[in-house]
Amino acid sequence: MMRRLPLAVLCLLPALSLAAAKDFAGKWDLTFTQGALTMEGLLEIRETGDGLKGYVEGGPVRLRIDADSIEMGIDDRTAAGMPFERYLRGTLAKGSMSGRFGPENEVGDKIRSLCRKLPLACPAPTGSWRAAPHADVTSAGQSPQPLDLSGTWVVAVPGIRRWSADLTESAKAWKAGFDVKMDLPDLRCASMGLVNGWGFRGNEPEIYQTDTKVTIVLGSEVRRIYLDDRRPPEYADWYPLGFSSGHWEGSTLVVETTNLQPALREWSGEPISENARVVERYSIDEQGRLVGVLTLNDPQYYREAPLKRARWRRADDKAIRFPSLCDPDSFYRQLYDEGKFDEYIRRAGRRF
């Protein structure tokens, strides 16, 4: 078994395997198959002055390469919010990679029992993976060919979530003071913002489209993407979903969002600044699914731009959808009963 390596570690290779190592460098479309669930993401392996470094969806990964063999540790979180790591082992052959994933080391009976009973809460999932060379297809400069995205959509292929990202020092300092029990906006029924809930089951888009606007209903929130020349006033406020303007590059809808209220990228407390800019690209694939890729550009807090992606399939618009219900009273009452309400008030600077 290969030695465990620290996060974003460089793999130093002997000269004999250097040529094979270079074959791993580049961008790859990464796919996990975990039972009936398929997940997608972008793997990038870069040649640096110190050797090869790996990133998945913009977040660093543990990486080791030896001849045509590769191992990667990629963190994620369960549906219950527990962080874990998929450990990938595989090989490069004929221009693509494939292998198996699971926990790096053997897990105990308690974890195995949990995984059997609650697969989505399993912190040690197993399955297969593959990676094919990524084709950078740009739509920039293409004449607009708008598509009708209207309809009710449900997640068909989720993106690979990342528990951690490539943070700047200021982001690490902010995160170090994060207390999930007091600072998570969702607990007090506040919006988690555009990035956090994007692409997840339970937060799926209901889209209404005209020539000048795309309106998206997400649970209890409504988002408007303006397709004309409307822009926010010079001194506009910040908002959880920001201000979004879109344009068509061929049949791809490109959306840029600014005026975002400071928020969290994930439940681990990684911050998003008021200067962040989010770019989304939406298209329809050959199976008629809505494909979305989100890029978070926030150099104040991220050295690499985090990515999120999903594919949605059209759903019959027959189900009744109710707004999300949330009562913050239980959150505040628990703080009061535990004698932590004064501490919560003192932590006002941690809330948006």
**Predicted confidence (pLDDT) at residue 242 exceeds the cutoff of 60:** yes
Give every CB contact of residue 310 below 8 A, 6+ residues apart in sequence. Answer: 155, 157, 158, 159, 198, 199, 291, 292
Please tell me the distance from the alpha carbon of residue 122 to that of residue 100, in angstroms, as a whole number: 17
Q: Contact at 8 Å (CB) between 274 and 261? A: yes
Question: What is the band of 202 on the pLDDT scale with cuts at 50, 70, 90?
Answer: low
Q: How confident is the model at residue 16, as a pLDDT?
A: 37
Sign of CA dihedral 110, 116, 120, 122: positive
Q: Is it true that 15-133 and 151-315 share their CATH fold?
A: yes
Q: Give the three-class secondary structure for 104.
A: coil
Return the domain boundaries, the chain.
15-133, 151-315
The pLDDT of 2-24, averaged and rounded, is 51
Confidence of residue 20 (pLDDT cuts 50, 70, 90): low
Which string of DSSP letters, residue by residue, matches 223-273?
EEEE-SS----TT---BTT-EEEEEEETTEEEEEEE-BPPEESSTT--EE-
What's the CATH number of domain 151-315, 3.30.420, 2.40.128, 3.30.479, 2.40.50? Answer: 2.40.128
Q: What percent of the chain has pLDDT over 70?
A: 94
pLDDT higher than threshold 90 for residue 134: yes
User: Residue 125 corresponds to which tokens in the numbers above?
Assistant: 């999932």
Residue 33 has pLDDT above 60, yes or no: yes
Q: Give, as one character, the DSSP assignment of residue 26.
A: E
Q: What is the mean pLDDT of residues 130-137?
A: 91
Which range is least confidently modeled, 18-22, 268-272, 340-344? 18-22
Above pLDDT 90, what percent of the chain? Answer: 76
Q: Could you say which DSSP state residue 203 is in?
A: S
**Chain-centroid distance, C-alpha 221:** 19
- Mean pLDDT for the stretch of residues 204-211: 93
Pick the CATH number of 15-133 from 3.10.20, 1.10.287, 1.10.3470, 2.40.128: 2.40.128
